[in-house]
Amino acid sequence: MKNLIYIIPAIAIALLGCTKIIDIDLNDDDSKKLVVDAEFSTLEKEHEVKLSISANYFSADVPTKATGASVSITDGVNVVDFIEMEPGVYKTDPLAKAIPNTNYTLNIVHDGVSYHAQSFCDSVPELDSVLVEFVPASGGDEAYHSVRISTQEKPGFGDYYAWQIYVNGVLENDTITEQLSTDDEFFPDGTYFNLIEITWLENLNSGDTVMVAQHAISKETYEAYFAILLQTEFRGGIFDTPPADVPTNLSEGAVGIFSASGESRKVGYVP
C-alpha cells in the first residue's frame, strides 16, 4: 500500500505535463439524437420499439420520450405496424412475429426525419430445459439460485446468442448493460450444452417461475451490446481507452440498435 501512495502522485504529475485540448461533442441542443431500442423476434407476441431523445451531457433530466412517430417493420412484402401505446413506447398486435432466415427493415419517421435499420432474423436452437438450482451459502458467499439451460449449439461458426430472464413474468435484465450474450468462437462446433449455468439470481421463493428466452442475434447486435458494456460496466481505470462511438445499424445519426432474432422460450420452477 505504501508503494501505491507514491505511484499515484507520479502519474498525476506526468498527466499534468501532457496537456491536449480535446473537442468532445457534449450533446447540446444541436446534437441531440434519436435513441432506438427495437426488437422483433420469431415468437408470437407484442413486440416493442422504444424511442427517446438523448439528453444534454450536463443535464440532470431524463431523456425525453420520442412521441408521435410512425414506426413499422417490413420484409419487403409484408408490413407490421407499431402503435404508440404510451409515450415513446410502440407495440405491435399480439399475433405479430418474424420469419426465420429473413431480412427485416425498421422504418421510423419522427419530426420529419426518416430513419432506417436492417437486421437479419436468424434461426434459433430450441431450449430443451431450464433448471433452477439452489446453491447454499459457502465460504462467505451468500446463497443464490443457479439458472441452467440445455440446448444444442448450431453447427458452423459465426453464431451469436443472447438470453432474457423473466421471474414470474417480469423481465429481470431489461437493460443492455445487463444483457447476457455470447458468440460461438470458443465453442466446439455443434456442442450440446447440458444444464450449463448462464446466470444466477437472488431472493427467489419456492414456486417462483424463471423463464429463459434464448435469442439468435446478429453479429451487429452482439458487437453493439459488447461495445456498450465496454463504455459502461467495464470502465473505471486510469488506463481505459477513450470513449468511442457505439456501433449502430440505424441511419441519419440515430443511436441504439434494431435486432431481428429467432427466439425460443422455456420455463423453470424454483424448488
pLDDT for residue 253: 93
Instruction: Return the number of other C-beta atoms located less than 10 Å from residue 150's C-beta.
Output: 16
Give residues with Cβ within 8 angstroms of 127, minimum separation 6. Answer: 149, 150, 151, 212, 214, 264, 265, 266
Using DSSP's 3-state secondary structure scheme, residue 233 falls into coil
pLDDT for residue 228: 73
Strands, E, within the chain: which ranges? 34-41, 48-53, 64-65, 70-74, 79-86, 89-91, 102-110, 113-121, 127-135, 144-152, 160-167, 170-171, 180-183, 192-201, 209-217, 255-269
What is the per-residue pLDDT across 205-234, written as a single tens digit (0 to 9) for each? 999 999 999 999 999 888 888 887 776 554
> Does residue 30 register a pLDDT over 80?
no
Q: What are phi and psi of 226, to 5 degrees?
A: -65, -40
pLDDT for residue 180: 85
Amino acid at 176: I
pLDDT for residue 12: 33
Q: Please, are residues 244 and 228 in contact by the beta-carbon 8 Å criterion?
A: no
> Does residue 197 register a pLDDT over 90?
yes
> Does residue 26 register a pLDDT over 70?
no
pLDDT for residue 238: 43
pLDDT for residue 61: 58
pLDDT for residue 231: 64
pLDDT for residue 6: 29
pLDDT for residue 20: 37
Name the residue ranges covered by the structural domains of the chain. 34-121, 127-240+262-269
Question: Roughly how many angstroms between the first and final C-alpha of the chain, as a whole number?
Answer: 46
Which carries the bigger pLDDT value, residue 155 or residue 18?
155
The string of DSSP codes covering 37-83 is EEEEESS-S--EEEEEEPPPTT--SPPEE--S-EEEEESSS-EEEEE
CA atoms of 248 and 106, how far apart (whole Å): 13
Give me the chain's average pLDDT, please: 83
How big is the CA angle at 153 (ends 147 and 157), to the nearest 5 degrees?
A: 130
pLDDT band at 199 (very low <50, low <70, confident <90, very high): very high
Asked whether the domain spanning 127-240+262-269 has the same topology as the one spanning 34-121, the reply is yes
Instruction: Return the number of other C-beta atoms located less than 10 Å from residue 27's C-beta.
Output: 15
CA atoms of 93 and 98, how far apart (whole Å): 13
Look at the domain 34-121 and name its fold. Immunoglobulin-like (2.60.40)
pLDDT for residue 232: 56
CA atoms of 119 and 115, how far apart (whole Å): 14
Give residues with Cβ within 8 angstroms of 179, minimum separation 6. Answer: 162, 173, 225, 229
pLDDT for residue 176: 66
pLDDT band at 155 (very low <50, low <70, confident <90, very high): confident
CA atoms of 265 and 271, how far apart (whole Å): 20
Q: What are phi and psi of 223, to 5 degrees?
A: -65, -35
Which CATH architecture best describes the domain 127-240+262-269?
Sandwich (2.60)
